[in-house]
Structure 1
């Protein structure tokens, strides 16, 4: 069961005392129960009481079903489509409930599932449908091959969706995307695990301050659709510094921390590096750093700090590969953390490597808008492409980002 309630916690690092944990609970008493079965044939429900009034609280009844195409083995493995149907009834328990789902109620979402390994993987996806007021939700994940393309039809009227996309096994990866609302009758295309991985600022990836406490969480495997991403690793770390003095050292697999800092404005450096060379062939090593200034702020809300992240979005296939032996244009953008005070970019540079970082050469950049460019590359006849970027901001902050084997050549 998945609850649409965010719990932010911290990891302890040298130099910071025991971290603060942030938890929240709704007012009053919450209760969530589920009845689960293979079909509706022997499922009967009835409301034995009166309708719940506003003074008494809230009651939301839910009917949830998942539909797909069975295979010869009787399972739904590899079904090319999936229907995720959710309906809510408020104020009473389900009694005599009937509903015919019509195509106009649904959103069509084509999911393109990209691979970052040299061979086929097994994937699955949790789809949690919530009422807009929040609560709890369940999913019925169906397994499929990665790479692949699958279509999911979602109930779209009055439903908020959270998604968790995963591959399983010795090369596991995981992606999250929250609070999606689809429009009934519309068609969408969503790419998972596509393109060079890196931190992507969103509600799960942030660097913020409240009073004299800094909170951060920077998972480094976000994809170019903006999904928060995680992966199995060979090694990794996150380091956090104030005026050159280390405040926290966060070990492999952990990317979050919080702790007290002095009120005076100071210069901070946040750096990260991860290595997943074993078993993976795309985004095998990722590293980067931010420098920024911060001083005391109010305690009534989080203040998101003025950081930005690079995003490279080459046109790649489901294997995260692009054509070899030809000139190739790669869109590059620098995206400020949502809610932060954005600063102008004074200087930016991009370099490319065709030998996994052994040598680098400068890439020409063509401006296409505010903090967006096209990088001009010349792909060799085989191998892979690695990129690194550096930016200097008008407020004195900097951004550095490197990804080895950002994508492969075919």
Structure 2
């Protein structure tokens, strides 16, 4: 998982360090994919860790949630640090921390070391994704405006898909299933460190680094009417992702009898890979037009997957996962696109911080509750409850969006009906009060 693309001002054109390095842009995009691939690589391994260390499903969910805690904390605290220290120092620190996490994964012999590795990985990923997104904006070719936005939108889900699938292949067919994937990722991170050392610095140092570490979160009163309807869609999409990334491989093995570790990676890839494809195909669509369809697809896909699990039909569960993936990708565009559309420039950092909190709490809290439910109620019952809860939340998002759309249409019709009267009416002393009313009402929302 990743944060939305950072909104970053370009360095002055005369900055000598801004000299472009041909080929740097795709390398930076590849590093972004690498970080997200590393974050999903442990998913196919969780079943092996459970067998070796004999811990319960709720412990597994907590391990997953610890990554989200580290990621969210990093996004909120160091998300803007590269604007003050420069991109390269922050990227170098993030890569170094990720390499430490990979070493811990390699030597892990119990759940405590695994947890420490996940926390460090979350911190590193949060710092890297915001900085890499900003670097892509800095390095965007002048002849391809908008390419950075496409890369930062598609890369997170693409990385999650590649990491889970690649890890599943290595675990199933390679030697040392709990170590080989981390060895390869460590080597890739070392190569990324070399690229960062060679790339140009694209952001001038400026004061305020310490002040930038203070998290700023806000929901401006005038944006509440737009934000509230998207919250259920965010929670439904990210809760579904949390379920697949933490418990998906276990559900496939225990309920569908798919014991291959490759299947664990395929399960995650079906969701996130389809989501990445949806993001790419729908990237130019207006965010408001995607909210209702994405909510419907999320709910429908979840119910189809649940039917497949209930009837022991792996193909039906796979179809539901693909439908859910389409809904998840469209939901990411719809929800974060709404935040980007409604927030004014001076509000964006605080509003996107709020968006991240909603998304990642929706990702982690339900997965922990789901793990507890698996431990207490069993995999089948807990999976059913989890899926139905997501479907209900998605339906709520759909109803809220449709209600909002009807209200907007009524407002447009009302304004159109009043327009001739307003044009023909003579100016009076009451006119200024009428003109100020919308601003007054907005400030009270």
- Normalising by the residue count of structure 2, what TM-score does the alignment of the two structures yield? 0.22
Q: Which has the higher contact order (CA 8 A, sep 6+)?
A: 2
| Greater helix content | 2
- Normalising by the residue count of structure 1, what TM-score does the alignment of the two structures yield? 0.23
